[in-house]
Structure 1
Amino acid sequence: MTHSLTIFTWITIGCWILFCSYWLLLRNKTKENIKVRTAKERFMGALGYFLIFSSLYAPLLMTGGIGRRILPADVVLQTAGVVLCITGILICIWSRYLLGKNWSGGVTAKKDHELVMTGPYRFVRHPIYTGFITAVTGTTLVTGGLAAIIMTLIFALGLCIKINQEEILLSNLFPEAYTAYQQHTRKLIPFIW
């Protein structure tokens, strides 16, 4: 193995266990979807999580190739990574809590869908994605693997596509309210984009 399990690594693993536990706990506590997600969509979502987590922790499993560590195992870099991971997971959990029964794993409307604009939704329209990208980036700084860096970039681009799909859906569901909401909040990065 090219990477040992440091305290930094353990903290990120703990963060992701917390994230996954919270998501699993609430996965069926949502309103009914107007359009049911297919088995293929659910499988692709699970596969995506598997690829993300295996890429993030590839340096723990591989000695070279795409799993090799390319970022230095620097205390400052890893401390920053832990702070980003913790912050990102907390943003995800807070945002998911506020969405409540309106949350969906896919881009779909719920029966009696509500537009949430409180908490982190005051600053960005997609704070779960903001938090997730932040946590993934933080974990990448801790593990430092090439696979993690590549997956972080691919994942961020994929989320941008999903964000555009969600923006269309929410604009159709809440034509006036969502347009007004878009005018005073950013998509993903507070005060920037």
Structure 2
Amino acid sequence: MTNHLYFYSVLLLAATAEWFFYKKREGNRKEAAENQQRHHVAVALALAFSLFLCIQLKAHTQTVHITAKTAGFVILFHGALIRSWAYIILSGHSSELLSSLQYRPLFSHGPYRFHRHPLHAGFFLMALGSGLYISNHWLAAPLVFILLGSALHPLMRQEEQFFEKKYGDIYTYWSKRRFRFVPFFY
């Protein structure tokens, strides 16, 4: 097995294990849970398709851009740190915080000082870094950005609408001081 297939397999196993460990618990409103499930399926399909295209890009690229591969590894590592830090913040309070937005307070520490959605931002950076690492080409960055970013945007918007209903003006004030996705960019 080549290093790239091994790396992709480990990444896929980690994502699957994370999904099983942190999947939604029973007790949520059925309609909201189904809607969110559809968004998660769309994100998973966008991730799979973008990484497939990155593998295809690797097959059709003759030159190796070592800077793209190095940048991919750094971005992947940074995304894993953000996502892990957010999980630590959430798991330190209650296991229900991981499974449902209904019980989640507005955190102002850890990665939540900078991001409204650090779990999604970390996931996106991990996918972007994986795409750059796998393909060894800079074209993977806009490819992953367009495919995965367009799939994550409705999921983030749904969460923001939920928090706007739940917290009202407090959420509006809180969200004005945090970037939606990537600090100083969006």
Which protein is richer in helix relative to its size?
A: 2
Equivalent pair of 2:117/2:156 in contact (CA under 8 Å): yes
| Structure 2 unmatched ranges of 5 or more | none
Superposed CA deviations along residues 142-171 of structure 1, whole A, max 9, x for unmatched, are: 222878853541220232233222222111
Unaligned runs of 5+ in 1: none
Q: How many percent identity over aligned positions?
A: 22
Paired letter, 2:125: T
Question: Quick one: distance in 2 between partners of 1:168 and 1:44?
Answer: 14
In 2 relative to 1, CA 182–59 (structure 1 residues): closer, same or farther, beyond 3 Å?
A: closer
Q: For residues 56 and 11 of structure 1, do their structure 2 counterparts lie closer, same or farther at Cα, with a shift above 3 Å needed? A: same
Q: For residue 37 of structure 2, what is the aligned residue in structure 1?
A: 42
Greater shift, 71-80 or 168-177, is seen at: 71-80
Letter in 2 for 1:5: T
Cα-Cα RMSD: 3.4
- Distance, in Å, in 2 between the alignment partners of 1:186 and 1:71 is 38
| Shift in Å, 1:54 | 4.8
* C-alpha deviation, 1:122, in angstroms: 0.7
TM-score, normalization by structure 2: 0.73
Question: How far did residue 129 of structure 1 move?
Answer: 1.6
Aligned to 1:27: 23
Q: Could you report, residue by residue, the CA deviation over 1:36-88 in whole angstroms, capped at 9, with x for unpaired residues?
A: 523x863663464145235414565x6xxx78545943222111101111221
- Give distance in 2, aligned partners of 1:71 and 1:188: 34
| TM-score normalised to structure 1 length | 0.71
Number of matched residues?
Answer: 179
| Corresponding letter in the other structure for 2:2 | L
1:138 paired to 2:135: no
After superposition, the Cα gap between the structure-2 partners of 1:50 and 1:151, relative to the gap in structure 1 and judged at 3 Å, is same
Q: How far is 1:186 from its partner?
A: 1.3
Give the match for residue 121 of structure 1: 112
Which residue identity does 1:76 align to in structure 2? T
Pair 1:18 & 2:9 matched: no
Q: What CA distance in whole angstroms lies between the structure 1 residues aligned with 2:62 and 2:183?
A: 27
